[in-house]
Amino acid sequence: MTDPQSDSKGQPGLVPAALFGCCPRCGARTLFDGVAKFAPKCRACGLDFTQFNVGDGPAAFLTLIVGALVTIAALTVELKFSPPFWVHIVLWVPITAAAVIGSLRVAKAALLIAEYRRNAGEGQEKK
Ligand SMILES: [Zn+2]
């Protein structure tokens, strides 16, 4: 691993950990309970995930990025192949939904893991 931020030995880097939804403490793939919903705590080591307040902050931001990318892709397909309109609906609706959910999941996991590794909290001092 070449992640200089990572001080926990034997742990995957931030990106693979976020992709696979790994627990920031033990590395087990226990972070998610649903597609983009955190589990209340790690099933392997018991780390309480509810203490991390990641929220849905990245959602709007990601939706904008995904929306822009899908629009560009849709325009490219339209200009190159000029498919009938239903092709666009069949193609882009599921792609957009999957891209938003997938990127939201990774972004939330990355935030939680980064928060854990830096011991960040909501305005609380480490005593
Ligand atoms: Zn764990």
Structural domain range at position 74: 4-117
58 lies in some domain = yes
48 lies in some domain = yes
107 lies in some domain = yes
> How many domains does the chain fold into?
1
Ligand 1 centre to CA of 48 (Å) is: 9
Does pTM surpass 0.75?
no
Distance (Å, rounded) from C-alpha 107 to C-alpha 99?
A: 12
43 lies in some domain = yes
Which pLDDT tens digit goes with each residue over 96-119?
A: 999 988 998 999 999 899 888 887
* Segments in 5-122 forming alpha helices (H): 14-20, 57-81, 85-118
Distance (Å, rounded) from C-alpha 118 to C-alpha 127?
A: 15
The DSSP letter of residue 12 is: P
60 lies in some domain = yes
Mean pLDDT taken over the chain = 84
Ligand 1 centre to CA of 71 (Å) is: 39
Percent share of the chain, pLDDT over 70: 82
Structure tokens at 110: 């990355």
61 lies in some domain = yes
Ligand 1 centre to CA of 39 (Å) is: 11
Nearest Cα residue to 6 out of 110, 111, 118: 118
125 lies in some domain = no
